Amino acid sequence: MGLELKASKTRMAHTLEEVDGQAGFDFLGFNIRQYKVGRTKSGKNTNRKPLGFKTIIKPSTKAIAKHVQGLRQIVDNHKGAAQAQLIGALNRVNCGWTRYYSAVTSKTVFGKVDNLLFQMLWAWAKRRHPQKGAKWVANRYWDVDQGQGWIFQSQGQAQMRKHVQTAIRRHVKVAGKRTPFDGDWVYWSIRRGKSLDVSARVARLLKKQQGHCVECGLYLRDGDQLAVAYINPQRTRWREANANLMLVHQHCQDALGAELAQLDGYV
């Protein structure tokens, strides 16, 4: 077909040993590399024998630098804008970037980027009020009394989402020979939040509760009689209904009696 590899983007690499002074490689914004570690932290082969190294995937240096430069550009573009507008622009970028890297080793990187962003925002705030002291500026643009560090928040309650607020969730391999068509709706609902064999509402609740009954704490299993109920029967308006639902065993629902308002029907 006449396709060729681009020479400037092609090199021989080794994920453990250095080649031309560099180990590992970058791919789609990720850096993939193996590090020599001790016996207790080593990865293991199929026979459970230590390999002597551990594979770590994290955001690449180029991807981090590009993201930081993008944040700096956003802050520069909002020098005269309201704080809420700046927060909205930053949140759109922060949420998307952190979710992309939320399945790899990114927590330390998120913290470093947050520190850099704080410095940008502090310079942004000081520039707007050159005659004011640091304490006044901090109280004007940050909420510092909630026990969660300095929160960049406008007086209209628009709050900037920090990078470290995105949880790291490791990718979990599909167990055994399972497929979405094997009829195990409990497993697939917990994993994906949807299943072909159960309603979308029940599947979402199973994923949210990680397969546990809210009342007794035991696992919900195929064959159990289940019920969808309100956590707080006094809050059943449509805006509150979805967040106010829980999935429980039918016998747990019966034990609660009139304390909970059960929805119509069983699942």
Long-range contacts of 120-125 (CB under 8 A, 24+ apart): 120/71, 120/72, 120/75, 121/75, 121/152, 124/75, 124/78, 124/79, 124/86
Structure confidence by residue, pLDDT tens digits, 76-90: 999 989 999 999 999
Query: What ranges do the domains of the chain cover?
Result: 12-59, 62-165, 185-259
Locate tokens 């790291």: which residue? 168
243-253 burial, b at 16+ Cβ within 10 Å, e below that, comes to: ebbbbbbeebb
pLDDT computed for residue 267 by the predictor: 44
- For residue 6 the two structure tokens come to 């681009």
pLDDT computed for residue 62 by the predictor: 94
pLDDT computed for residue 47 by the predictor: 80
DSSP 3-state of 263: coil
pLDDT tens sequence for the chain (267 residues): 888 888 887 888 888 887 777 888 888 999 998 888 887 778 777 787 888 888 889 999 999 999 999 999 999 999 989 999 999 999 999 999 999 999 898 999 999 999 999 999 999 999 999 999 999 998 888 887 766 678 888 877 788 999 998 888 887 787 777 776 666 667 777 676 666 666 777 878 878 888 888 878 777 777 777 788 777 766 655 555 667 788 888 888 777 664 444 444 444
pLDDT computed for residue 194 by the predictor: 60
pLDDT computed for residue 260 by the predictor: 45
The answer to whether the CB of 137 falls within 8 A of the CB of 118 is no
pLDDT computed for residue 212 by the predictor: 83
Which residue type is seen at 213?
C
pLDDT computed for residue 216 by the predictor: 82
Structure confidence by residue, pLDDT tens digits, 35-61: 888 877 787 777 878 888 888 899 999
